[in-house]
């Protein structure tokens, strides 16, 4: 091959490489967000029932448990194994379900009388009955549920969704947590860990208080008008670009700037989103806002729908408190489940119904559940149930999950 031929070959090939690179860039843009199978879910609303509701008293009906109520049988107790290293089964008194079960809807799914409103939505739900966890206590189990680890710093599920999919609305965070708890993992349950800080969940209110008229502080700048704020943001951007040119690998600086940008953008849209005063009386009644017992959690569920409608990817709504023994944690007096069920039943069912009426349920996953279940036997021969990491249930509605369907099962007693 002559020198001229080599030069011509290199020139034409180089143009070909450029064409391949350009084609690759265009292909990447065209295929962004696409998958081999079209995605059905665009957002998630996680209704976290802190403390561990009893699956054998709610949606996992066990006739054998009812039949053997009061009898003693040997069980491997997870807490005894974890705390004492005991690996032998110990005698425990079986405690049957304390609420009557019946079948509901066309699917005939089982639900107890604890949740009369959620039972009406079971035809829209997929009940996963084969859940289990690595955490025996609330803290490790809550972290495992949210972050996939019982003790290590790992990104929360909402942070991963934010990182992987981004926001649907650039004026809103991709991840919002409504009423987060300060205990049992605290901020780690909505934290980004080693992901960029922008993916941390934005907290809205606290777990043990109503949202109130101003659930988020500093949304309105009382000191500066919009045009003045805009000029200030332009100046901050210029300073940030200068700093980044000096230290381009400074991730903290980039995270701070993105947080400030998001805060400025949120001031434009969020006040209107958080103002639910224009909702119809029918909608407010659907969520139980007309009842003092349901209005606190009902407003949080309504806010979740408004945020989902506005473009937030992952909305976490926590029901519970900041005590050492969270809401659903009935080690004694299991009858307290009834009060908690009344607080959340209508709001949770109202959320599913509202999303369905608005055509949002098809691409929204509603996830209801706690960090573990409860034992099928009485704790200490008393009136409550201990933690059961070996088996529990969650409800999933919308987002492509098969409705009116139960997946998996526990043993005859709901233990493993």
Q: Write out pLDDT tens, residues 246-264.
A: 877 776 776 676 776 777 6
Residue 218 has pLDDT above 70, yes or no: no
- Please state, in angstroms and rounded to a whole number, the distance separating the CA atoms of residues 136 and 394: 17
Q: Which residue has the higher pLDDT, 217 or 207?
A: 207
**The pLDDT of residue 33:** 54
- Percent of the chain residues topping a pLDDT of 90: 63
- Please state, in angstroms and rounded to a whole number, the distance separating the CA atoms of residues 75 and 255: 51
Three-class SS string for 206-239?
A: CCCCCCCCCCCCCCCCCCCCHHHHHHHHHHHHHH
pLDDT band at 274 (very low <50, low <70, confident <90, very high): confident
Q: Which residue has the higher pLDDT, 310 or 34?
A: 310
Backbone φ and ψ of 9, nearest 5°: -65, -45
**The pLDDT of residue 272:** 81
Q: What is the pLDDT of residues 123-147, one digit of tens each?
A: 999 999 999 999 999 999 999 999 9
Q: Which residues contact 79 (CB under 8 A, 6 or more apart)?
A: 136, 386, 387
Residue 28 has pLDDT above 50, yes or no: no
Measured from the Cβ of residue 363, the count of other Cβ atoms closer than 10 Å reads 16
Give 148: exposed, middle or buried? Use CB within 10 Å, 0-12, 13-18, 19+.
middle
**The pLDDT of residue 31:** 47
Q: Which residues contact 220 (CB under 8 A, 6 or more apart)?
A: 267, 271
Q: Which residue has the higher pLDDT, 345 or 32?
A: 345
- Please state, in angstroms and rounded to a whole number, the distance separating the CA atoms of residues 194 and 201: 14
**The pLDDT of residue 214:** 65
- Please state, in angstroms and rounded to a whole number, the distance separating the CA atoms of residues 313 and 43: 4
Region 174-196 average pLDDT:
93
pTM, two decimals, is 0.85
Average pLDDT, the chain: 87
Q: Which residue has the higher pLDDT, 7 or 396?
A: 396
The helices-and-strands tally (H runs, E runs) of the chain is: 11, 14
- Please state, in angstroms and rounded to a whole number, the distance separating the CA atoms of residues 253 and 175: 21
Query: b/e map of 65-97 (b: 16 or more CB within 10 Å)?
Result: beebeeeeeebebbbbeeeeeeeeeeebbbbbb
16-20, 179-183, 304-308, 335-339: least confidently modelled range: 16-20
Q: Which residue has the higher pLDDT, 90 or 218?
A: 90
13-27, 28-42, 304-318: least confidently modelled range: 13-27
**The pLDDT of residue 22:** 47
**The pLDDT of residue 34:** 64
């Amino acid at each position: 091959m002559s020198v001229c031929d080599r030069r011509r070959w290199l020139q034409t090939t180089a143009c070909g490489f450029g064409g391949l690179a350009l084609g690759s860039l265009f292909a990447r843009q065209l295929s962004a967000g696409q998958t081999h199978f079209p995605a059905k879910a665009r957002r998630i609303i996680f209704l976290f029932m802190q403390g561990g509701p009893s699956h054998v008293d709610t949606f996992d009906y066990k006739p054998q448990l009812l039949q053997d109520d009061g009898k003693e049988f040997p069980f491997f107790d997870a807490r005894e194994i974890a705390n004492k290293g005991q690996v032998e089964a110990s005698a425990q008194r079986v405690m049957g379900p304390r609420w009557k079960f019946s079948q509901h809807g066309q699917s005939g799914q089982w639900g107890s009388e604890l949740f009369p409103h959620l039972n009406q939505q079971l035809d829209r739900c997929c009940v996963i009955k084969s859940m289990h966890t690595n955490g025996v206590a609330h803290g490790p189990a809550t972290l495992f549920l949210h972050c996939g680890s019982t003790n290590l710093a790992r990104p929360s599920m909402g942070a991963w969704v934010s990182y992987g999919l981004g926001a649907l609305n650039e004026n809103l965070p991709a991840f919002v947590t409504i009423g987060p708890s300060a205990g049992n993992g605290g901020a780690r349950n909505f934290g980004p860990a080693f992901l960029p800080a922008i993916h941390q969940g934005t907290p809205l209110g606290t777990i043990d208080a109503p949202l109130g008229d101003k659930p988020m502080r500093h949304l309105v700048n009382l000191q500066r008008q919009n045009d003045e704020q805009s000029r200030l943001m332009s100046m901050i951007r210029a300073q940030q670009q200068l700093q980044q040119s000096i230290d381009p690998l400074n991730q903290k600086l980039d995270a701070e700037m993105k947080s400030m940008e998001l805060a400025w953008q949120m001031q434009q849209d969020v006040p209107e989103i958080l103002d639910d005063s224009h909702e119809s009386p029918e909608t407010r009644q659907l969520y139980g806002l007309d009842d003092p017992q349901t209005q606190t959690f009902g407003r949080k569920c309504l806010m979740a729908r408004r945020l989902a409608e506005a473009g937030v990817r992952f909305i976490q709504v926590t029901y519970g408190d900041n005590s050492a023994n969270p809401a659903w944690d009935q080690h004694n007096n299991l009858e307290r489940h009834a009060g908690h069920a009344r607080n959340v039943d209508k709001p949770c069912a109202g959320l599913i119904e509202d999303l369905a009426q608005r055509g949002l349920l098809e691409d929204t996953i509603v996830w209801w559940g706690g960090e573990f279940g409860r034992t099928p036997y009485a704790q200490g021969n008393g009136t409550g149930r201990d933690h059961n990491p070996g088996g529990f249930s969650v409800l999933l509605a919308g987002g492509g999950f098969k409705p009116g369907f139960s997946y998996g099962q526990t043993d005859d007693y709901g233990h493993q």
